[in-house]
Chains A and B, each alone.
Chain A
């Protein structure tokens, strides 16, 4: 499984970014290879439609699961529904490591 975190930084100790569309970094953890890889997600120049571009990127990165804080807004939620990607929400004010633990313990909510 490829797990994607919305984050303010690039490693396991980075803080989660509760925003999905305008997340600073998209950090992908590949459970099989045990590799963590971070991608900058600069949406500052986009007045509108940032969420759609981010969702597109997430699909391209091949994520199976998104772990984030607030969850997707209307348009992006519709788009993600078209994929098989599952979005888990409620991971805010914590590190990626803590968020991953909560996910594996089943403590996050499926959007």
Chain B
């Protein structure tokens, strides 16, 4: 089973929840793999004691212009749906940052002048912690497109940990990276806070997950601040509230030290128990 922890708004506790939940479930003897799919800003590793197992280079395929046979017909420019190719006078320019590796230019070029070649976009690293596996995707500086790396990180997890309960720490937002991180999940936990921003972005995330036909549940973090819009919304929309994590300065202090929370903060552990119980009942 795969469970993705996502949110509309950033900074609502995806990494806090996923790293603690992975560790807590593993401490109960469950076979767990945690994947950090927030490849533009992977930070789960900050909270875990890790031993590296292996690092793989992640590539994406991009076209390279070979000018010898090119007739400058401009077909490649016309067929590119992502404006990644430009023709300036007698030169074809490829912008790998915009390329979605769809192969259209390469396949449709009448003179085969745009062969596809791999280009490095980041790294996938497998680590071990004391009692579970951790896989991290990390995009290279200057790369603009995280979706191919997220997809490859998920493939790596699926190939190597088919028997584990898979927990995915998703990037924030509701755009392509989030869709890639959630689209094959069995369940999506949306973590939010009951503030106007948290509520607004939760609604967007719920709408996105509904388009993807995902089963969802909500965890309210920093419970006690803000208003009760999130709770009312969930009630109205029939979305289960899996847990409410109390707002507590001790959580911030412990987090700031890079420590796991459930070992130190009893009410946080109780919230994790609520989540574990809920996960156990997911069909």
Contact = CB atoms under 8 A, between A and B. Distances in A.
Interface of A: 46, 48-50, 52-53, 55-56, 59, 75, 79, 82-83
7 nearest A-B pairs in the assembled complex, by CB-CB distance: A49-B83, A52-B86, A56-B86, A49-B98, A59-B88, A53-B83, A48-B98
Contact of A82 (B91, B95, B98): B91
Interface in B75-110: 77, 82-84, 86-89, 91, 93, 95, 97-98
A48 B82 contact: yes
Nearest to A48: B98
A111 to B, nearest CB: 17
Contact of B95 (A49, A50, A83): A49
A75 B87 CA distance: 14
Contact of A55 (B82, B84, B88, B98): B88
A56 B76 CA distance: 14
B98 A79 contact: no
Contacts, number: 36
Given A49-B95, A79-B86, A83-B89, 5 more contacts: A49-B83, A52-B86, A52-B95, A53-B86, A55-B88
Contacts of A48: 82-83, 98
Nearest to B98: A49
B26 to A, nearest CB: 40
Chain A contact surface mostly: helix
Contacts of A79: 86, 88, 93
B77 to A, nearest CB: 7
Nearest to B84: A49
A75 B77 CA distance: 16
B79 to A, nearest CB: 13
A79 B83 CA distance: 14
The CB with the most chain B CB atoms within 10 A, among A56, A75, A79, is that of A56
A56 B84 CA distance: 12
Contacts of A82: 88, 91, 93
A24 B91 CA distance: 26
Contacts of B84: 49, 52
A14 to B, nearest CB: 26
Nearest to A51: B83
Nearest to A47: B82
Nearest to A82: B88
Contacts of B88: 55-56, 59, 79, 82-83
B83 A75 contact: no
